[in-house]
Amino acid sequence: MSDIEIEPYTDPAGGWGSAKSLVEILTREEVPISGSAMLLKQNKPGGFMCVSCAWPKPAKPATFEYCENGAKATAWEQTRKRIGPEFFAKHTVAELLTWTDFDLETQGRLTHPLRYDPASDRYAPVSWEEAFAEIGRELRGFDPKSVVYYSSGRASLETSYMYGLFARLYGNNNLPDSSNMCHEPTSIGLKASIGVPVGTTVLEDFETTDCILFFGQNVGSNAPRMLHPLQDARRRNVPIITFNPLRERGLERFTNPQSPVEMLTKSSTQISTQYLQVKAGGDIAAITGMCKALFAADRAAQAQGRPRVLDVAFIAEHTHGFDAFTAFCDGQDWSVLETRSGLTRAALEDAASVYARAKRVIGIYGMGLTQHRKGTETVQMLVNLMLLRGNIGRAGAGLCPVRGHSNVQGQRTVGISEKPEQVPLDKLAEMYAFTPPREKGLNTIEACEGIVAGTVKAFIGLGGNFVRAIPDTERMEQAWRGMRLTVQIATKLNRSHLVNGTVAYLLPCLGRIEIDAQASGPQAVSMEDSTSCFHGSVGVTKPVSDHVRSEPWIVAGIAKATLDPNPKIDWDAWVGDYAKVREAIQATYPEVFKDFNARLFEPGGNHKPLAARERKWETETGKANFVVPEGLDEDPDMPARHADVLDLITLRSNDQFNTTVYGYHDRFRGVKGTRSVLFMNAADIARLDLADGATVDVVTESTDQHVRAVRGLRIVKYNIPEGNCAGYYPELNVLIPLWHHDEQAKTPAAKAIPVRVARTG
Ligand SMILES: Nc1nc2c(c(=O)[nH]1)N[C@H]1C(S)=C(S)[C@@H](COP(=O)(O)OP(=O)(O)OC[C@H]3O[C@@H](n4cnc5c(=O)[nH]c(N)nc54)[C@H](O)[C@@H]3O)O[C@H]1N2
Ligand SMILES: Nc1nc2c(c(=O)[nH]1)N[C@H]1C(S)=C(S)[C@@H](COP(=O)(O)OP(=O)(O)OC[C@H]3O[C@@H](n4cnc5c(=O)[nH]c(N)nc54)[C@H](O)[C@@H]3O)O[C@H]1N2
Ligand SMILES: [Mo]
């Protein structure tokens, strides 16, 4: 770790800072810059799909269709560094548990299958045959309901289909996914509101939109390629109204690092035309304010005989619940809306009038809306706003939830779901001649509750870093060790591999960028992007070691060792030729995956049909539903709170991918050399008698008896609303109570955690 430097960053997102940061990581991971020819194949038909975010891959890609953080993810996976048996012989698990997330992953790629040896407290090499035999023997001994099959959102459609099928053949729907911690409020909220569980926009919609609303997504760090369509939209003078408690650099200014002219002239584009620093959890109030302003403008227009502001024809033909929603908005008091949102009436009226002038509006959002106690309602509130002017189901308009992992949406599409009703179980029963379990499975929070209660006894992880990503780290780590079996399929070492069950395996797999050679030759895999387009992906580099295996091969290996043979499933044939898995996927979902193999490399991807795009509403009412929120309160069960309690936002730096910490430089926020910081508003610092740069402890304000604390954070005075503070995930996950989740989707409410801050000591 280098010395700590904290100073505000004034350059735009992208630009020279991005180019420099990229060279740094390629050098550190010993990926030759010339070898970055690899990067030229990123996100191109016939090349590999980025392992970072899920932003769509354009049909006409740029020469360099990657961003700083996508290239970092590539370098991180394709590092020359390796950790083999010698490393594990040298370090006990107890010792490794004292290392940081960065130190663990930066050791390099896992090269051998490993089994935990309790006697020496070390991981030791084991053959694949022995590993599968013991895992199979163990799995056969459990009640199927007590086993959890987690996926982290990166594995391909092919692997995911096999994995989901395996869990059901085994006898449960316990298929939690990182999506449970991420966009589950989208899956639930949008399905109930408009009949599809995903966004309704595609990349082309950005070319014709004339207004963008941007809620709670940090584009500069977490989906930087999206800055290109945003920059194009700004060049057409499209207003972008941003709602975010923090002034994020990428939402302010952007220099395209791939434009020589912009780089040489140091020119940049202003991204947001209005920047509304809403309070954490204040979006329901903010959107209610905008709706209220629209209703008022509509009534004024009617009174004066001008054209209506609301799209009354759309509302009448296509929606349900309009009157109740009108009554809800009419019943809200402006002063309460101002307090709850932290925004002025004038600012909200202004935003509403820009929205009302636009014919085609896109609503973009990320974790700032979903990771709340009322996450699902907040997403539905954005839908309500869009419905008022018919902004769903036509070109240039719609909803754009920015998904996280590169195939998280796709995993749901092919059956990774704890909700049996989302899976064509009858079809699976017919195809594979078995009786699929019908009982609802465990989602992430329920799996955690089961682990605490001792009812979950085994955990299989297809990627990810579950123990680090979930809330209540300390409690969960303790409970975790009570499990009998933990199996982790992974590329790099992380903390979840060290907090292990009695019998523990760590199985190294190929990354997507590597050549995956099977019986029929090199294989392609596929994924679904944020805009519901499927893309093929082909590995281009030599595998990191002769002992690593592909994810489909590993899943098949565990399945064969665990299940009785099924004459309808030839796991080996699937592994030998992934095109056969795609045929099975197509047979299971004929409409979604029509001509799947033939269309695998279609430029821009193969878009799946979405009823809402055609204004067909597959909801209970057969209409698009206005959904009235229960109230404006972010946290329904906190008792009247003391003025000293702040709402803590946990978020990502520009130098990480989720729990993968690439380094200690959050360039855009001006923090270098440390992640132990707490961003605070100057007025709060003064009121609580603290000081910029002071060291503080943060303690969760909770209604239960557990003490949750993080000690020794350094205060960074920051432009953030009074009453809010912010710091980094996953280090602060210890502060989130397990029960602090969205009421409907059970997504951990990582964006507004009530805490107290006090000087250390
Ligand atoms: N480089 C990189 N790319 C990534 C990831 C990564 O870690 N690194 N992670 C991937 C994954 S899995 C995901 S889910 C996405 C995550 O991408 P984001 O959705 O951008 O997630 P966060 O970094 O958590 O930031 C959320 C943003 O919401 C704002 N915010 C917080 N609370 C509120 C609120 O109450 N209201 C509003 N309006 N805004 C709020 C924060 O200030 C922050 O700018 O990115 C994906 N892409
Ligand atoms: N406080 C707080 N908590 C959060 C969030 C937050 O904003 N705040 N965000 C939540 C969100 S949105 C998400 S998506 C989750 C993320 O939770 P996860 O998806 O579980 O975590 P990741 O950090 O993405 O997982 C990283 C690990 O994946 C493994 N890996 C990488 N590539 C591959 C691969 O190709 N195959 C396999 N098998 N393994 C691979 C590596 O071993 C690496 O260490 O965290 C959630 N937790
Ligand atoms: Mo995510």
* Centroid of ligand 3 to alpha carbon of 79 (angstroms): 24
658 CA closest ligand 1 atom index: 7
* Alpha carbon distance 577, 550 (integer Å): 12
The two beta strands, 753-759 and 646-651, are antiparallel
* Centroid of ligand 2 to alpha carbon of 104 (angstroms): 14
Q: How far is CA 394 from CA 201, 355, 615, in A?
A: 9, 16, 8
What is the pLDDT of the chain when averaged over all its residues?
Answer: 94
* Centroid of ligand 1 to alpha carbon of 464 (angstroms): 17
Mutate to test the pocket of ligand 1, among 52, 53, 219, 246 (most ligand atoms within 8 A of CB): 53
Burial 47-71 (b: 16+ CB within 10 A, else e): bbbbbbbbbbbbeebeeebbbbbbb
Task: For residues 396-413, give the mean pLDDT.
Answer: 96
Looking at 273-356, which runs of residues are DSSP E strands? 274-276, 319-320
Q: Is residue 34 over pLDDT 90?
A: no
* Centroid of ligand 3 to alpha carbon of 652 (angstroms): 11
Q: Is 307 exposed, middle or buried (0-12, 13-18, 19+ CB in 10 A)?
A: exposed
Contact assessment for residue 627 and residue 365, using Cβ atoms and an 8 Å cutoff: no
Mutate to test the pocket of ligand 2, among 658, 734, 738, 747 (most ligand atoms within 8 A of CB): 658
Q: Give me the pLDDT at residue 229, please.
A: 93
Q: Is residue 29 over pLDDT 90?
A: no
Q: Is residue 3 over pLDDT 90?
A: no
461 CA closest ligand 2 atom index: 38
* Alpha carbon distance 507, 509 (integer Å): 7
72 CA closest ligand 1 atom index: 1
* Alpha carbon distance 518, 339 (integer Å): 60
Tell me the CA end-to-end span of the chain in Å, nearest whole number.
25
Rounded to 5 degrees, φ, ψ at 340 are: -65, -40
Count how many Cα atoms sit within 13 Å of the Cα of residue 345 in the half-sphere of its side chain: 9
CATH number of the domain bearing residue 743: 2.40.40.20
* Centroid of ligand 3 to alpha carbon of 31 (angstroms): 27
Ligand nearest to the CA of 285: 1
Nearest residue CA, atom 26 of ligand 2? 464
Rounded to 5 degrees, φ, ψ at 698 are: -120, 130
* Centroid of ligand 2 to alpha carbon of 606 (angstroms): 26
Domain-located, residue 496 = no
Q: Give me the pLDDT at residue 323, please.
A: 98
Min mean pLDDT across 8-22, 415-429, 482-496 is at 8-22
* Alpha carbon distance 327, 16 (integer Å): 51
Give me Rg for the CA atoms of the chain.
25
Q: Give me the pLDDT at residue 1, please.
A: 45
Ligand 1: list residues with CB < 6 Å: 52-53, 69, 182, 215-218, 221-223, 243-246, 248, 278, 280-281, 283, 366-368, 404-405, 649, 651-652, 656-658, 751
Q: What is the pLDDT of residues 298-321, one digit of tens each?
A: 999 999 999 999 999 999 999 999
Which residue's structure tokens are 């059956």?
415
* Centroid of ligand 1 to alpha carbon of 300 (angstroms): 38
Q: Give me the pLDDT at residue 174, please.
A: 98
217 CA closest ligand 1 atom index: 20
* Band of residue 638 on the pLDDT scale cut at 50, 70, 90: low
69 CA closest ligand 1 atom index: 1
Q: Give me the pLDDT at residue 526, please.
A: 97
* Centroid of ligand 1 to alpha carbon of 217 (angstroms): 5
* Centroid of ligand 2 to alpha carbon of 133 (angstroms): 28
Nearest residue CA, atom 32 of ligand 1? 368
Pick the closest to residue 203 from 333, 54, 378, 420 (CA basis).
54
pLDDT: is 49 or 32 the higher one? 49
* Alpha carbon distance 391, 384 (integer Å): 10
Ligand 2: list residues with CB < 6 Å: 105, 152-154, 178, 181-182, 367, 371, 404-405, 462-466, 469, 489-492, 494, 509, 511-512, 551, 650, 658-660, 729-730, 733, 736, 750
Q: How far is CA 261 from CA 14, 150, 228, 265, in A?
A: 13, 46, 15, 6
Min mean pLDDT across 252-261, 355-364, 468-477, 564-573 is at 252-261
Nearest residue CA, atom 14 of ligand 2? 178
Mutate to test the pocket of ligand 1, among 367, 658, 733 (most ligand atoms within 8 A of CB): 367
Ligand nearest to the CA of 508: 2
* Alpha carbon distance 187, 179 (integer Å): 9
Crossing angle of helices 157-170/425-432, nearest 10°?
A: 80
Pick the closest to residue 503 from 40, 138, 51, 91 (CA basis).
138
CA geometry: angle 381, 386, 387, nearest 5 deg:
95
512 CA closest ligand 2 atom index: 35
Domain-located, residue 490 = no
Q: Please list the residues that pair with 657 across neighbouring strands.
A: 660
* Alpha carbon distance 456, 172 (integer Å): 12
Contacts of 101 (CB under 8 A, 6+ apart): 465, 468, 494, 495, 659, 660, 661, 730
Nearest residue CA, atom 47 of ligand 1? 222
* Centroid of ligand 2 to alpha carbon of 59 (angstroms): 28
Ligand nearest to the CA of 216: 1
3-state secondary structure 351-415: HHHHHHHCCCEEEEECHHHHCCCCHHHHHHHHHHHHHHCCCCCCCCCEEEECCCECCHHHHHHCC
pLDDT: is 445 or 267 the higher one? 445
Distance of CA 410 to the CA centre of its chain: 13
Nearest residue CA, atom 36 of ligand 1? 368
* Alpha carbon distance 711, 760 (integer Å): 7
Count of beta carbons in the 10 Å neighbourhood of residue 569: 22
Count how many Cα atoms sit within 13 Å of the Cα of residue 677 in the half-sphere of its side chain: 26
Q: How far is CA 107 from CA 29, 251, 697, in A?
A: 10, 34, 30
Pick the closest to residue 158 from 583, 717, 618, 734 (CA basis).
583
- Its domain, for residue 297, covers 191-402
Contact assessment for residue 25 and residue 582, using Cβ atoms and an 8 Å cutoff: no
Burial 97-125 (b: 16+ CB within 10 A, else e): eebebbebbbbbbbbbbbbbeeeeebbeb
Q: Quick one: CA torsion of 116, 118, 120, 126, rounded to 10 degrees?
A: -30
Domain-located, residue 14 = no
Q: What is the pLDDT of residues 499-529, one digit of tens each?
A: 989 999 999 999 999 999 999 999 999 999 9
| Boundary (domain end) residue, out of 346, 367, 402 | 402
Domain-located, residue 753 = yes
Structure tokens at 308: 């209506």
pLDDT: is 25 or 698 the higher one? 698
* Alpha carbon distance 27, 109 (integer Å): 16
Q: Is 593 exposed, middle or buried (0-12, 13-18, 19+ CB in 10 A)?
A: buried
Ligand nearest to the CA of 657: 1
* Alpha carbon distance 359, 356 (integer Å): 8
Ligand nearest to the CA of 459: 2
Nearest residue CA, atom 23 of ligand 2? 659
Nearest residue CA, atom 39 of ligand 2? 463
DSSP string covering 155-218: S-HHHHHHHHHHHHHHT-----BGGGGTTHHHHHHHHHHHS-SS----TTHHHH-SEEEEES--
* Alpha carbon distance 298, 292 (integer Å): 10
Domain-located, residue 236 = yes
77 CA closest ligand 2 atom index: 32
Pick the closest to residue 404 from 162, 600, 651, 626 (CA basis).
651
Q: What is the pLDDT of residues 700-734, one digit of tens each?
A: 998 888 999 999 999 999 999 999 999 999 999 99
Structure tokens at 698: 């943060």
Q: Could you tell me the pTM of the whole model?
A: 0.96
Rounded to 5 degrees, φ, ψ at 505 are: -125, 145
CATH number of the domain bearing residue 297: 3.40.228.10
Contact assessment for residue 735 and residue 753, using Cβ atoms and an 8 Å cutoff: yes
* Centroid of ligand 3 to alpha carbon of 595 (angstroms): 30
Q: Is residue 36 over pLDDT 80?
A: no
* Alpha carbon distance 221, 72 (integer Å): 11
Domain-located, residue 298 = yes
pLDDT: is 263 or 50 the higher one? 50
Ligand nearest to the CA of 748: 2
Q: What is the pLDDT of residues 471-481, one digit of tens each?
A: 999 999 999 99
Q: What is the pLDDT of residues 89-131, one digit of tens each?
A: 999 999 999 999 999 999 999 999 999 999 999 999 999 999 9
Pick the closest to residue 635 from 723, 706, 757, 727 (CA basis).
723
Task: For residues 623-631, give the mean pLDDT.
Answer: 96
* Alpha carbon distance 301, 312 (integer Å): 13
Task: For residues 329-342, give the mean pLDDT.
Answer: 97
* Alpha carbon distance 659, 100 (integer Å): 11
Q: How many domains does the chain have?
A: 2
Q: Give me the pLDDT at residue 33, please.
A: 61
Q: Please list the residues that pair with 521 across neighbouring strands.
A: 518
* Centroid of ligand 1 to alpha carbon of 638 (angstroms): 24
Contact assessment for residue 620 and residue 191, using Cβ atoms and an 8 Å cutoff: no
221 CA closest ligand 1 atom index: 1
Nearest residue CA, atom 28 of ligand 2? 464
| Boundary (domain end) residue, out of 343, 378, 402 | 402
Nearest residue CA, atom 38 of ligand 2? 463
Q: Is residue 35 over pLDDT 90?
A: no
Structure tokens at 564: 């009785």
Count how many Cα atoms sit within 13 Å of the Cα of residue 30 in the half-sphere of its side chain: 8
Q: What is the pLDDT of residues 163-198, one digit of tens each?
A: 999 999 999 999 999 999 999 999 999 999 999 999
* Centroid of ligand 1 to alpha carbon of 109 (angstroms): 27
Domain-located, residue 385 = yes
Pick the closest to residue 596 from 580, 610, 612 (CA basis).
580
Contact assessment for residue 251 and residue 214, using Cβ atoms and an 8 Å cutoff: yes
Structure tokens at 729: 């995930």
* Centroid of ligand 2 to alpha carbon of 152 (angstroms): 6
Burial 197-229 (b: 16+ CB within 10 A, else e): bbbbbbbbbbebbbbbbbbbbbbbbbbbbbbbb
Mutate to test the pocket of ligand 2, among 221, 491, 496 (most ligand atoms within 8 A of CB): 491
* Centroid of ligand 1 to alpha carbon of 266 (angstroms): 27
651 CA closest ligand 1 atom index: 24
* Centroid of ligand 3 to alpha carbon of 405 (angstroms): 6
Q: What is the pLDDT of residues 134-162, one digit of tens each?
A: 999 999 999 999 999 999 999 999 999 99
Pick the closest to residue 530 from 420, 385, 625, 399 (CA basis).
399
| Boundary (domain end) residue, out of 386, 402, 418 | 402
* Centroid of ligand 2 to alpha carbon of 539 (angstroms): 21
Q: Give me the pLDDT at residue 639, please.
A: 59
* Centroid of ligand 3 to alpha carbon of 313 (angstroms): 37
* Alpha carbon distance 242, 414 (integer Å): 34
Q: What is the pLDDT of residues 39-90, one digit of tens each?
A: 788 888 888 888 888 999 888 887 777 788 888 899 899 999 999 999 999 9
* Alpha carbon distance 527, 49 (integer Å): 8
Q: Is residue 2 over pLDDT 70?
A: no
Nearest residue CA, atom 40 of ligand 1? 368
* Alpha carbon distance 666, 39 (integer Å): 23
Contact assessment for residue 157 and residue 534, using Cβ atoms and an 8 Å cutoff: yes
Domain-located, residue 368 = yes
Mutate to test the pocket of ligand 1, among 68, 222, 225 (most ligand atoms within 8 A of CB): 222
